[in-house]
Amino acid sequence: MLSFVLSGIRGAATALFVTIFPSDCRLCGNPLLNISRLPVCDECLSAMQPICGGLCSICGERLAGLHAISENQGGIRCELCRRAEPPYVKAAAYGSYAGGLRELIHLLKYDQVRPAASVLGRMLAEAIADLAPLFGDDQAILVPVPLHARKLRQRWFNQSELIARVAVRIVSSEMPLHLKPGVLERCRETQSQVGLSRHQRRENMRGAFAVTGCDQIARRTVLLVDDVFTTGTTVSECARVLRRAGASKVFVATVARTLKAEAQHAMPAAEMQEMTMATAAAG
């Protein structure tokens, strides 16, 4: 009887909340029926699934046919990681930087919907769990990719650090991670990476980061965390700086990553051939 009464009270409270404070899901636009600090419906959250399929054993890029190169040791690598090995041991991401997951990250970064950090932090914790067996007995130092001071003043928070704090709380019972947000500093502002060539992206990031706490990472395993792995230029530059400062190994964990091979992987063979011919004619 009591449970029936309590259920009725909760139902009435929810109905009253929806009536007085109507709100729609910020991703799909459907009405929100549950009281929540995060304006995203359960259906949209459930649609954010982990990356599946064959992935590069180093950078985590999806492998598509001819772009995969098998090796006797170290698993399967993409062509880029085979040509130039990244300065980090391995990168892992929870999901693809597309659809609802991309919009959820934007809600946190650009609309300052901070409750999104809790959901994204749980996703980051899953990516960290994938890397944890590689840490060995070393207690990893967790370092968020920093923002430049000017951008930090504009946004009032570093989204990577917010997400990392949630992830550390989740995994703390199974693995000790030491969050050190002040170890890495963004000492130079950089222009947007959109539209830049690979060489231009590297030059854009060169000298953008510095280590301020070398004694904290010397001969230690460092777990570098960020919200998104897009081209990999940012995390690669951070990993290089951390290695030069004395870190023994650097791993990378992100909530999402851009899957450059995804469109080609899903494209029908005839359509792929047509696009290739058009590109050759244009050149």
> What band does 266 get if pLDDT is binned at 50, 70 and 90?
very low
| pLDDT score, position 139 | 84
* 191 and 250 co-located in one domain: yes
Q: Does 67 have pLDDT greater than 90?
A: no
| pLDDT score, position 36 | 82
* 95 and 192 co-located in one domain: yes
Q: Does 8 have pLDDT greater than 60?
A: no
| pLDDT score, position 30 | 93
* 18 and 71 co-located in one domain: no
The answer as to whether 159 is a domain residue is yes
Q: pLDDT higher for 6 or 26?
A: 26
How many Cβ atoms sit within 10 Å of the Cβ of residue 18?
A: 15
Task: Give the torsion through C-alpha atoms of 209, 214, 216, 218, to 10 deg.
Answer: 110
* 33 and 160 co-located in one domain: no
From CA 31, how far away is CA 214, in angstroms rounded?
50
pTM above 0.85, yes or no: no
> What band does 267 get if pLDDT is binned at 50, 70 and 90?
very low
Q: Which domain holds residue 269?
A: 53-282
* 38 and 141 co-located in one domain: no
Amino acid at the residue 244: R
Nearest partner of 179 among 234, 148, 216, judged by Cα: 216
* 105 and 206 co-located in one domain: yes
* 93 and 183 co-located in one domain: yes
Q: Does 252 have pLDDT greater than 50?
A: yes
The answer as to whether 163 is a domain residue is yes
* 155 and 101 co-located in one domain: yes
| pLDDT score, position 196 | 66
pLDDT, the chain, mean? 82
pLDDT, one tens digit per residue, over 162-209 is: 999 999 999 988 888 899 998 999 987 766 666 666 667 776 677 779
Q: Are 120 and 106 in contact (CB under 8 A)?
A: no
From CA 100, how far away is CA 40, in angstroms rounded?
10
| pLDDT score, position 205 | 73
- Assign residue 112 a region: left if phi > 0, alpha if psi is -120 to 50, beta otherwise? left
Is 193 buried (19+), middle (13-18) or exposed (0-12) by CB count in 10 A?
Answer: middle
Tracing tokens 């999901």 back to the chain, one arrives at 95
| pLDDT score, position 280 | 35
- Which CATH number does the domain housing residue 276 bear? 3.40.50.2020
pLDDT, one tens digit per residue, over 216-247 is: 999 999 999 999 998 898 999 999 999 999 99
Q: Does 134 have pLDDT greater than 70?
A: yes
Q: Measuring CA to CA, how many Å separate 254 from each of 150, 161, 272?
A: 23, 12, 30
The answer as to whether 208 is a domain residue is yes
- Ranking 68-72, 150-154, 269-273 by mean pLDDT, the lowest is 269-273
* 70 and 22 co-located in one domain: no
> What band does 138 get if pLDDT is binned at 50, 70 and 90?
confident
| pLDDT score, position 12 | 55
* 35 and 74 co-located in one domain: no
pLDDT, one tens digit per residue, over 13-43 is: 555 555 455 489 999 999 988 878 899 999 9
Percent of the residues in the chain that have a pLDDT greater than 90, as a whole number: 54
> What band does 214 get if pLDDT is binned at 50, 70 and 90?
confident
> What band does 146 get if pLDDT is binned at 50, 70 and 90?
very high
The answer as to whether 189 is a domain residue is yes
